[in-house]
């Protein structure tokens, strides 16, 4: 944003009466140069009757303090399994984290004992789930459910526990928090329920929050309020957020950096403006272009032909090749592409079959 437009924005706000509240503080810089979570070559597989499903096939990324990373992809691209793997919640069997490292504040989570992991889960790293209707237990009051994590991780009881619960509810802007704490989930609206799930997530001051499509079931205005809330919490606490979503609108609004996943691998990752202004992989391009725009009348949408591949029967080499619209020989598609840094912090899975400007970067790879 230029300084000029910033000025006009502040002017606008001051003109407004106190009752009309406009919020223009999105995109404030919160990223700090300190890596909290570093994932290296993570592989998660499931053994099924069709064969081994490589749900996550060697992905690596870093998350800095106060940064929001968006992991984008279709259903079945492995983004949710990634989040479960980070929490070590992959059901085993049939699932298994085959290899890799998940370093959280310098500790490899994959090497921890189950007992230590229980302390990390919901403590240092927490998960906000998609559906607030099912993420909350209808049989327990809000106080019990928010308090559970606080009790386990901070060992407080009685009156001070209740105070902490009320604080957590206040931090997600739930009005009359001390009364709401006694309520049961069915007494709250959808937006309020999602806030309670958020309160559980942040109650133990985690360093990383994984938000798995937290707003898909919410209305536009409630979604806006919830995303704003997450940003505010991030500003206050400097928590790193991993946003798992298929919606590029949320990415545009929330994320600092984006990783696009396809068939269990990251095909492109860069900061959010590079992804929107200069996408290199055909899949990223198509994903961005397939969304109608609110800002102007959109012409016919670009559609990605076909379906995402079955993960137990992946095409050899470049898994996006069968859906790519570029011209390439069968031999090119058979080469398994590598993720290469094409410019600073811009990584692309380089292949002739799905990168149009392959020639420009051909010197970076030896195939």
Partner 1 sequence: MAAKTEKKTNSKSIVPNELGCTTSTKDSIVQVRNLRKHYEVNKALSFFGKDIIGKTDLLKAVDNVSFDVPKGKTFGLVGESGCGKTTTGKLILQLENPTAGEIYFQGEDVALMSKAGLVEYRKSVQAVFQDPWASLNPRMRVRDIVGEPLQIATTMTKEQIAKRVGDLLEEVGLNEYQSNFYPHEFSGGQRQRIGIARALALNPKLIILDEPVSALDVSIRAQIMNLLVDLQNEHDLAYVLIAHNLATVRYMCHRTAVMYLGVIQEMGDTETVFNNPQHIYTNALMSAALPSHPDIDRDELVLPGEVVSPINPPSGDVFQTRTPLKVDAKHEYANNRPPLVQVGKKDHWVVETPWSIATKEMKVNLAGI
| 242 exposure class (CB count in 10 Å sphere: 0-12, 13-18, 19+) | buried
Cβ closer to partner 1: 44 or 284? Answer: 284
Give the chain's end-to-end CA distance (angstroms, integer): 41
Specify the pairing of strand 265-271 against strand 240-245.
unpaired
- Measure CA 16 to chain center: 34
Cβ closer to partner 1: 50 or 367? Answer: 50
242 in Cβ contact with 40 (< 8 Å): no
Residue 290 to residue 299: CA distance in whole angstroms: 11
Q: In angstroms, what is the minimal distance from the CB of 269 to partner 1?
A: 15
Token pair recorded at residue 78? 């492995």
Q: In angstroms, what is the minimal distance from the CB of 140 to partner 1?
A: 24
Cβ closer to partner 1: 106 or 175? Answer: 175
Residue 252, classed as helix, strand or coil, is: helix
Cβ closer to partner 1: 159 or 300? Answer: 300
Token pair recorded at residue 158? 């009685």
CA of 29: how far to CAs of 22, 32, 106, 211, 278, in Å?
19, 9, 25, 20, 22
Whether residue 94 has a cis bond before it, omega within 30° of 0: yes
Residue 108 to residue 257: CA distance in whole angstroms: 23
Q: In angstroms, what is the minimal distance from the CB of 236 to partner 1?
A: 19
Cβ closer to partner 1: 94 or 249? Answer: 249
Q: In angstroms, what is the minimal distance from the CB of 148 to partner 1?
A: 27
Phi-psi region of 325 (alpha: psi -120 to 50; beta: other; left: phi over 0): alpha
The residues of the shown chain that bind partner 1, judged by CB under 8 A, are: 1, 5, 9, 12-13, 15-17, 19-24, 26-27, 74-75, 189-191, 219-225, 228, 246-253, 255, 272-273, 276, 286-287, 290-298, 300-305, 307
DSSP 8-state assignment for residue 265: E
Residues 6+ apart with CB under 8 A from 33: 64, 65
Cβ closer to partner 1: 26 or 367? Answer: 26
Token pair recorded at residue 237? 């606490």
Q: In angstroms, what is the minimal distance from the CB of 303 to partner 1?
A: 4
Q: In angstroms, what is the minimal distance from the CB of 253 to partner 1?
A: 6
Cβ closer to partner 1: 224 or 315? Answer: 224
Q: What value, to the nearest 5°, has the Cα angle with vertex 275 and ends 286 and 306?
A: 20
249 in Cβ contact with 292 (< 8 Å): no
| 93 exposure class (CB count in 10 Å sphere: 0-12, 13-18, 19+) | exposed
Q: In angstroms, what is the minimal distance from the CB of 22 to partner 1?
A: 4
Cβ closer to partner 1: 282 or 332? Answer: 282
Cβ closer to partner 1: 226 or 347? Answer: 226
Q: In angstroms, what is the minimal distance from the CB of 216 to partner 1?
A: 9
Q: In angstroms, what is the minimal distance from the CB of 170 to partner 1?
A: 18
Cβ closer to partner 1: 15 or 344? Answer: 15
């Amino acid at each position: 944003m230029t300084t000029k437009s910033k000025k006009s924005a502040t002017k606008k706000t001051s003109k407004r009466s106190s009752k009309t509240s406009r919020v223009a503080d999105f995109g404030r810089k919160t990223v700090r140069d300190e890596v909290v979570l570093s994932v290296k070559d993570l592989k998660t597989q499931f053994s099924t009757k069709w064969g081994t499903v490589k749900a996550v096939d060697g992905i690596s990324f870093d998350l800095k303090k106060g940064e929001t990373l968006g992991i984008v992809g279709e259903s079945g691209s492995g983004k949710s399994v990634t989040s479960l793997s980070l929490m070590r919640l992959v059901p085993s069997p049939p699932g298994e984290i085959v290899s890799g490292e998940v370093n959280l504040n310098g500790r490899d989570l994959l090497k921890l004992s189950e007992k230590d992991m229980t302390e990390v889960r919901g403590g240092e790293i927490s998960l906000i789930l998609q559906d607030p209707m099912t993420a909350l237990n209808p049989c327990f009051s809000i106080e019990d459910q928010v308090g559970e994590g606080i009790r386990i991780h901070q060992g407080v009881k009685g009156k001070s526990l209740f105070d902490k619960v009320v604080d957590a509810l206040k931090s997600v802007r739930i009005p009359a928090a001390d009364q709401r704490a006694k309520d049961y989930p069915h007494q709250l609206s959808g937006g309020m329920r999602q806030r309670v799930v958020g309160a559980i997530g942040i109650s133990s001051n985690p360093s990383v929050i994984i938000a798995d499509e937290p707003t898909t079931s919410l209305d536009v205005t409630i979604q806006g309020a919830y995303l704003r809330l997450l940003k505010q919490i991030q500003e206050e606490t400097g928590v790193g957020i991993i946003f798992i979503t298929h919606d590029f609108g949320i990415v545009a609004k929330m994320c600092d950096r984006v990783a696009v996943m396809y068939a269990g691998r990251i095909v492109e990752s860069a900061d959010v403006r590079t992804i929107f202004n200069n996408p290199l992989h055909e899949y990223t391009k198509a994903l961005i272009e397939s969304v109608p725009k609110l800002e102007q009348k959109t012409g016919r949408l670009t559609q990605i032909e076909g379906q995402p591949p079955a993960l137990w029967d992946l095409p050899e080499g470049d898994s996006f090749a069968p859906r790519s619209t570029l011209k390439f020989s069968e031999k090119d598609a058979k080469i398994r592409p590598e993720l290469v840094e094409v410019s600073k912090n811009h990584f692309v899975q380089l292949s002739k079959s799905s990168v149009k400007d392959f020639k420009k970067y051909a010197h970076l790879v030896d195939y």
